[in-house]
Amino acid sequence: MFSNIDDSLSSFNNFEFDECRPATDDETANWLLDDGPVLKTTWMVYDRQFADGQREICASRSVRIKQTGPLPLQNRSKRGASEKREQNDEDSAKRAKQAVRLRCKAIAVDRMLTLTYRENMQDTDRLKKDWDSFRRRMGKHKQFHYVATVERQERGAFHIHVAVHGRQVYQLIRSIWQKIVGLTEDGKQAGQINVRDPHKFGFGKNGAHRLAGYISKYISKDQDTHDLNKKRYWSSRGIVVPEKNYYQLPYGVDAFAAFSHVMQLAADHNSDGMTFFSNQALGVCWVATAPCT
């Protein structure tokens, strides 16, 4: 099946075929594939490759209809403002989580710094001010490329997780953070920096993509603390995320063949430390590979 798919890709690389157009989410949700004007189901694949050899490959099901105008939709009860806001917030969190993951991979992060407070610090304005001071002072000493997210612990205290690439001057970083945070009332250092060892926790040469996924999880973990459209992460300027390369699998390919195609591409590239997700009901198969060795 792999050879059949690969040999015929060039002739099926057109997104529009037989005067069909992609169905919208609402249209797909309201019409069964075997009942109504829905005509064809096919599979789209995207392949995103990073400078260090990391790769993300995804196959997703695409429903197409042979109709120029919109389909009549079934009557729906009007959603309340709170429900719509909740959905918008969830969608925003998903986009931010993806952005964090992709930016981490673009700069090949392999280490994570955690900026902490000794006290139970829950002031968001102070958190932003301290972080702004930290990243500006770090920028004076070296080119500081980073992707940072915020974690709120069970007790309510804030931590800042910072993904970086390469070995850092930890004494300098610790000194800068402690000067910003200051001392507690009893004269102790009010802040500390912890360094996540990349090899001990699997974030070394073949685990950089795992670190990207690890740090992005804090986006959705704490999304209830974010207001709509509020910044959910910080990253340095100049990070370039590579574009996706799209192509369409031939009509008639089923889920098994599409998923097998993605897995074969990933295995041929670098199967060491591969991350995999699939859901046949949703019609998606996603694979991430480690950097090339």
Strand 158-164 to 38-49 pairing: unpaired
Please say whether the beta carbons of 89 and 223 come within 8 A. yes
CATH entry 3.30.70.1910 includes domain 107-235: yes
Show me where the domains of the chain are located.
2-77+241-289, 107-235
- pTM passes above 0.85: no
Q: What is the pLDDT of residues 190-223, one digit of tens each?
A: 889 888 766 655 555 555 667 888 888 877 555 4
pLDDT value at 80 more than 60:
no
Interatomic CA distance for residues 137 and 118, integer angstroms = 21
CA 103-105-106 angle, 5° bins: 60
Q: What is the pLDDT of residues 105-154, one digit of tens each?
A: 999 888 889 999 988 999 989 999 999 999 999 988 878 899 999 988 88
Q: Which residues, including other chains, have CB under 8 Å from residue 56's CB and lie 6 or more apart? A: 46, 47, 48, 105, 286, 287, 288, 289
Q: What is the pLDDT of residues 243-259, one digit of tens each?
A: 999 998 988 889 999 99
Residue type, 152: R
